């Protein structure tokens, strides 16, 4: 895998972020923190990742907090971010296919490592249905976000 993928978490997501990166060392990660177990505010990490994607340093990103919910809410405040909370292969696949999500959010207190790895694989390998010849409706729907 040569594509750069941005990743960030709060303290609750740090252990899962660390192991995910180790298990998928084939990916060129841009790790935006947090790097210590000290309590931090997840919106700061959502913003750092949104900025990274906004600057074109990575096309896609992974955000991890306790539930995946707070960090997705914060990420979606940024107009260029489409962040989906994923908790299994199906949600990870469909948030790419239907929503053209550029950020996958996962909850370290919700899913385990193997499910997270499966989500990551599905998220990275699934293309947006809107880019297929019969996918105009998906493009229209995602276009209505803004």
User: Strand, helix or coil at 44?
Assistant: helix
**Spatial distance between the Cα atoms of 113 and 115, rounded to a whole number of angstroms:** 6
Which among 55-63, 65-73, 119-127, 132-140 is the span making contact with ligand RB5, rule CB under 6 A? Answer: 65-73
* Smallest distance, ligand RB5 to C-beta of residue 71, A: 6
The verdict on 47 binding ligand RB5 (CB under 6 A) reads no
Considering only residues 32, 58, 62, 70, which one is a binding residue for ligand RB5 as defined by CB under 6 A?
70
**Spatial distance between the Cα atoms of 32 and 1, rounded to a whole number of angstroms:** 19
In the DSSP assignment, the letter for residue 59 is S
Considering only residues 15, 43, 66, 135, which one is a binding residue for ligand RB5 as defined by CB under 6 A?
66
**Spatial distance between the Cα atoms of 118 and 138, rounded to a whole number of angstroms:** 24
36 within 8 A of 13, measured Cβ to Cβ: no
Decide whether 67 or 99 has the Cβ nearer to ligand RB5: 67
**Spatial distance between the Cα atoms of 116 and 22, rounded to a whole number of angstroms:** 13
The verdict on 110 binding ligand RB5 (CB under 6 A) reads no
Q: Which residue is nearest to ligand RB5 (CB)?
A: 70
Give contact residues for ligand RB5 (rule: CB under 6 A). 10, 12, 42, 65-67, 69-70
């Amino acid at each position: 895998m040569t594509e750069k993928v941005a990743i960030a978490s709060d303290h609750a997501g740090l252990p899962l972020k660390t192991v995910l990166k180790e298990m998928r060392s084939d990916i060129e990660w841009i790790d935006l923190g947090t790097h210590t177990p000290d309590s931090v505010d997840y919106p700061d990490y959502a913003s750092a990742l949104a900025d990274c994607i906004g600057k074109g340093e990575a096309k896609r990103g992974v955000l991890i907090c306790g539930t995946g919910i707070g960090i997705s809410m914060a990420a979606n405040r940024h107009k260029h971010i489409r962040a989906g909370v994923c908790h299994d292969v199906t949600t990870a696949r469909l948030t790419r296919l239907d929503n053209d999500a550029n950020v996958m959010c996962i909850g370290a207190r919700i899913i385990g490592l193997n499910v997270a790895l499966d989500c990551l694989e599905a998220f990275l390998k699934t293309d947006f249905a809107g880019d297929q010849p019969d996918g105009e409706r998906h493009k229209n729907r995602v276009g209505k976000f803004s």
